[in-house]
């Protein structure tokens, strides 16, 4: 998962992201979060596209209270009949972090084959 994807996933719960990063003493990531508006304005791809370690992603995503819903073809932010409810960690482990961000951004994403 890239840094920009992680911050996007936590746009509605930034305090949760910061809390976990503080506990794990991720000072560089905390500095970038504090300067995120400037980093985005400059489109600093060396920071925005930085790959975040999977174990850190799992630790942070485990604290997010959001759920996504999986059908045979789609992942959604809202439930539809007979869909499976998944935590962000479950989605991350099955499909990766990019799909979480895409689903939150669009409301729905096509599952990889």
Looking at the structure of the chain, the number of domains it has is 2
Q: Is 90 left (phi over 0), alpha (psi -120 to 50) or beta?
A: alpha
Residues 29 and 80 in one domain: no
Residues 59 and 83 in one domain: no
How many CB atoms are closer than 10 A to CB 83? 16
Cα atoms found within 13 Å of the Cα of residue 21, Cβ hemisphere only? 21
> Pick from 46, 52, 43: which is nearest to 7 by CA?
52
Are 57 and 3 members of one domain?
Answer: yes
Q: Decide: helix, strand or coil at residue 49.
A: coil
Number of neighbouring beta carbons within 10 Å of residue 63: 15
* Mean pLDDT, rounded, of the chain: 96
Same domain, 35 and 85: no
Same domain, 100 and 60: no
- 56 plus 100 within the same structural domain: no
32-84 pLDDT per residue, tens? 999 999 999 999 999 999 999 999 999 999 999 999 999 999 999 999 988 99
Model's pTM, two decimal places? 0.92
Beta bridge partners of 87: 67
List, for residues 74-112, the tens digit of each pLDDT value. Answer: 999 999 988 999 999 999 999 999 999 999 999 999 999
* 71 and 58 fall within a common domain: no
Phi then psi for 74, rounded to 5 degrees?
A: -130, 155
Range of the domain at 86: 66-113
């Amino acid at each position: 998962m890239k840094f920009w994807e992680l911050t996007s996933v936590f746009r509605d719960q930034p305090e949760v992201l910061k809390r976990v990063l503080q506990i794990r003493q991720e000072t560089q990531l905390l500095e970038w979060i504090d300067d995120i508006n400037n980093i985005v304005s400059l489109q600093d791809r060396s920071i925005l596209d930085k790959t975040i370690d999977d174990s850190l992603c799992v630790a942070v995503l485990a604290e997010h209270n959001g759920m996504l819903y999986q059908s045979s073809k789609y992942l959604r932010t809202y439930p539809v009949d007979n869909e499976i409810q998944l935590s962000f960690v479950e989605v991350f482990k099955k499909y990766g972090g990019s799909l979480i961000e895409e689903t939150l951004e669009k409301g729905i994403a096509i599952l990889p084959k």
